Amino acid sequence: DTIAALMDRLGIAKAIVVAHSFGGAITTAFARQHPEKTAGLVFVSPATHPWPGGATAWYYKLTAMPVVGWLFSETLAYPAGMLRIGDATACVFSPNTLPDFYLQNASIPLVLRPSAFRANARDVAQLHDYVRAASPAYREIKAPTVVISGDRDKVVYATIHSVGLERDIPGAELVWVRNLGHKPDWIAPDLVVGAIERVAGAPIDLQAMARTVEGRIAGDAHNDGKCPDIKVPDAELAPT
């Protein structure tokens, strides 16, 4: 409803909504609640469906706890997080290359601010229960939809979420890219833009574009030893 209200304030009648990772769950809710405002959907490495066990990272569970979580986020989360943030972010991109300027330009350390860290932890801790309840209604979504996902995603189970969206949203197109991690928005921005144009009605062959991206990243093997592929029932949304 907040996004719909913002669109009204900006005078935007309908929009193509692009969602990455956790944003996938938010976008499915928007599309179901505001179909009249949804011109199309592009999901990029989304988290949208229940996964076996529902596990997330230990630090999300700890931070979501009363009292103890507040103490952790106010005292240890920032210094400990700063020690790990470079390696963790590299695992989000792996096997693809983490851009040299990404941490600074994307202001990634801001996620470690105590209030932001607590808010994010609460959201992630509640995600599994939310998508378990919401996902059966995805079949109600009628907007043109494209889902972009990589087979080397080390943050979410692509075979559960992305394949699930293709199955559940009528007419959704899944664009599967080999050797692509969790960040198509940075590694394959041309493909993401093409998907936006595709749901807008342009005659774009996204599968052909995906093959071009694969040729570009076929040799990527960054941090493969440090960042193993996640396997069920590993924790999701938890870069190692």
CATH number for position 28? 3.40.50.1820
Judged by DSSP in three states, 20 sits in: strand
Report how far Cα 90 is from the mean position of its chain's Cα atoms.
Answer: 16
CA 59 distance to own-chain centroid: 19
Q: Has residue 116 been placed in a domain?
A: no
Residue 140 has pLDDT above 80, yes or no: yes
Could you list the residue range(s) of the whole structural domain that residue 45 is in?
2-53+130-217
The arithmetic mean of pLDDT across residues 131-154, rounded, is: 98
Number of structural domains (the chain) is 1
Q: Could you tell me the CA-to-CA distances from 44 to 2, 83, 107, 117 in Å, in that order?
A: 21, 28, 20, 23
Would residue 8 count as lying in a domain?
yes
- Is residue 95 situated within a structural domain? no
What element of type H or E holds 203? none
The mean predicted confidence, pLDDT, of the chain is 95
Task: Give the pLDDT mean for 127-150.
Answer: 98
Task: Look at the block and give the residue holding tokens 């969602």.
Answer: 19
Q: pTM for the whole thing? A: 0.94
Range of lowest pLDDT (38-42, 55-59, 65-69, 138-142)? 55-59
C-alpha to C-alpha distances, 132 to 78, 128, 156, 184, 231, nearest whole angstrom: 31, 6, 15, 25, 20
Whether 59 is in a domain gets the answer no
Residue 227 domain-assigned (yes or no): no
- Region 117-139: what's the mean pLDDT? 96
Please report whether residue 86 resides in a domain. Answer: no
Residue 218: closest CA among 185, 190, 180, 183? 180
pLDDT digits (tens, 9 = 90+) for 162-175: 999 999 999 999 99
Per-residue pLDDT at 208: 98
Helix (H, G, I), strand (E, B) or coil at 165: helix
Q: Is residue 171 part of a domain?
A: yes
